[in-house]
Structure 1
Amino acid sequence: MLPDRHRLHRSADFRATTRGGRRVGRRDLVVHVTTRRAGDPSVAGPRVARVGFVVSKAVGPAVTRHRVARRLRHVCVPVVTALADDVDVVVRALPGAATASSSELDRQLRSGLRRLGAFAETPSAAPAPGRSPAAR
């Protein structure tokens, strides 16, 4: 289960992420990412990555939409700990998500997040000594 502190709850946060952030589309998902400012008063408590989901009626009837949302939450559990602490992510499911496998949704989500640069920098991603980042 995705911990509550990692979930987006307020519609203003969803709106800020979908309208003000960057996005990338995949076959069954659209991934929106925005970076929170350092002094953002809307975020109380520890600074952690937050994720929200949008599963519209275009995906299918209520049972199908809820199943897709549960699968997306399950896929996000290991991903959210690897995200940068100051990002908000909204995952919008497209109609194909209803028939996609969980592993396919995971692959598409990670691909979108990687493309948008939402993952935290790791020491192994640092440039080699003597090389400038521009030389990569």
Structure 2
Amino acid sequence: MLPEQYRLHRRRDFSATVRGGRRCGRRDLVVHAFSGTDTETNLISTTGPRFGLVVSKAVGPAVVRHRVARRLRHVAATLLGELDSSTDVVIRALPGAAEASSQELARQLRSGLERLNLLVPKGDSR
């Protein structure tokens, strides 16, 4: 489970990450990431990386959307130690995420973050 302190909650945090950050599309996910500090609005947390999820009705009915969200939160929790503490990530699930396995979602998320050069090699502390 993803601890509360590592979650995005406010609409402005989601908007800043999606509009001001970079993105990388994968088959079942779109990864939006914003790294650094914003001195005007102080949006970026220093307690650790934060994740937000967007799982729309296009993914499926409520049961399916919640299952996808639980899987993505679990995958995000495994990546906490590999991201810089000033990084915000929004994961947007595409309709194919409903049929994807947890391992496939993990692979796609890791691939997206690697493509954006956001993963910190293990043992390297930033």
TM-score, normalisation: structure 1: 0.83
Cα distance in 2 for partners of 1:38, 1:20 equals: 10
Superposed counterparts of 1:68-87, under 5 Å: 68-87=68-87
Find the counterpart in structure 2 of residue 134 from structure 1: none
Larger radius of gyration: 1
AA matched with 1:83: L
Q: Percent identity?
A: 59
Q: Which runs of 4+ in 1 moved over 2 A?
A: 38-44, 120-124
Following TM superposition, by how much is the alpha carbon of 1:120 offset from its aligned partner in structure 2, in angstroms? Answer: 2.4
Gaps of 5+ in 2: none
Query: Does structure 1 retain, via aligned residues, the 8 Å contact 2:49–2:85?
Result: yes
Following TM superposition, by how much is the alpha carbon of 1:122 offset from its aligned partner in structure 2, in angstroms? Answer: 5.3
AA matched with 1:36: G
Query: Does structure 1 retain, via aligned residues, the 8 Å contact 2:44–2:88?
Result: no
TM-score, normalisation: structure 2: 0.90
Query: Does structure 1 retain, via aligned residues, the 8 Å contact 2:37–2:44?
Result: no
Find the counterpart in structure 2 of residue 42 from structure 1: 43
Gaps of 5+ in 1: 125-136
AA matched with 1:117: N
Cα distance in 2 for partners of 1:123, 1:2 equals: 22
Following TM superposition, by how much is the alpha carbon of 1:38 offset from its aligned partner in structure 2, in angstroms? Answer: 6.3
Cα distance in 1 for partners of 2:44, 2:20 equals: 17
Cα distance in 1 for partners of 2:106, 2:122 equals: 20
Cα distance in 2 for partners of 1:24, 1:38 equals: 21
Query: Does structure 2 retain, via aligned residues, the 8 Å contact 1:85–1:120?
Result: no
String of CA shifts for 1:12-50, please: whole Å, max 9, x gaps: 000011111100100000000011316453356x43110
Find the counterpart in structure 1 of residue 120 from structure 2: 120
